[in-house]
Structure 1
Amino acid sequence: MSETGVDALPAHPLLKNDYASEWLGIELLKVDDGHATITMKLRQEMLNGFGIAHGGMIFAFADTAFALACNPHTGSADTITVASGVDINFLKPGIPGRTLTAVADRRQQQGRSGIYDIQIFQSVPGAEDEVLAEFRGRSRTVPKPS
């Protein structure tokens, strides 16, 4: 088992060789068809020069939830689903040491194209979690690269 506990994650073929998610320390809480919930702790090496979460770290975290929701947890022999475009809105600064949670949900699926919304929450000591960012992903299912 790795230091981050990634080896203990519930089975999802996408995580088998996902070294970025392992480095982020992502934990998979729930995955269903069109849905994923993940968490991670905001560590010092994820901060920018202002001492708050680097936007790229928040984006990568949300992108992992997006990928998990897009791709079946049973795997696919022939196809993968990837981002065709995304938008992210940062609403609050990410505070070091807090736990982040991303909740990804499919909104629409038409043929090979889909739309997913991902909310990123931040824990707040003694209060309810707050929305840190909103991410909307557009997906496209394509043949697996050979």
Structure 2
Amino acid sequence: MTETPHHPALVGDRVARWLGVTLEAAEKDHARIRMTLGEEHHNAFGMAHGGVVFAFADCCFALTCNDPASDGSTLTVASGVDVNFLSGTRAGQTLVAEGRLVAAAGRSAVYDITVTTDDGTLVAAFRGRSRTVAVKGA
């Protein structure tokens, strides 16, 4: 029997809950999530709003750059991102975001997040830069 993945960064994440994010994989420097697009996620052109795709990729970024086994003494946050939207979507499609570490140096790192439809069509390429900081009081 496969254990259901867990990530503390999803606890209390209201945006991920609104998006309908489901966690498929969570380990150090790697995460995979999915969501099904509803009408509420689409713009006036009938495609997923860019902000929704960005938020979905950003959720994956947070899960990828924060180790689910962390002791809570540090937090890794975004210091900058670039996103390229490559194809449109339609309501009812499932999106999958997968994130991986590209490079790390000290407290800074670069991660790539790909957002695809469940049939493999690339919707967006997201590159995130992160910084790890100490959690006050931890």
Alignment TM class, shorter chain as reference: over 0.9
Could you tell me which residue of structure 2 aligns to residue 71 of structure 1?
Answer: 66
TM-superposed CA distance for 1:24, in Å, is: 0.6
TM-score (norm 1): 0.88
What amino acid does structure 1 have at the position aligned with 2:6? A
Alignment of 1:39-78 (within 5 A): 39-78=34-73
Could you tell me which residue of structure 1 aligns to residue 82 of structure 2?
Answer: 87
Q: Assess if the C-alpha contact under 8 Å between 2:110 and 2:127 holds in 1.
A: yes
* Paired positions, count: 134
Structure 2 CA distance for partners of 1:74 and 1:92, relative to 1, 3 Å: same
Q: Which runs of 5+ in 2 are unaligned?
A: none
Secondary structure at 1:129 match in 2:
coil
Deviates more, 1:33-42 or 1:69-78: 69-78
What amino acid does structure 2 have at the position aligned with 1:51? G
2:25 pairs with 1:30: yes
TM-superposed CA distance for 1:145, in Å, is: 4.5
TM-score (norm 2): 0.92
After the TM superposition, which segments of 4 or more aligned residues of structure 1 sit over 4 Å from their partners?
none
2:129 pairs with 1:134: no
| Pairing partner for 1:21 from 16, 24, 35 | 16
Secondary structure at 2:67 match in 1:
coil
Q: Which runs of 5+ in 1 are unaligned?
A: 1-8
TM-superposed CA distance for 1:118, in Å, is: 0.5
Could you tell me which residue of structure 1 aligns to residue 91 of structure 2?
Answer: 96
2:89 pairs with 1:108: no
Q: Aligned-residue CA RMSD in angstroms?
A: 1.2
TM-superposed CA distance for 1:71, in Å, is: 0.3
Could you tell me which residue of structure 2 aligns to residue 5 of structure 1?
Answer: none
TM-superposed CA distance for 1:129, in Å, is: 1.8
CA distance in 2, matches of 1:76, 1:63: 22
Secondary structure at 1:72 match in 2:
coil
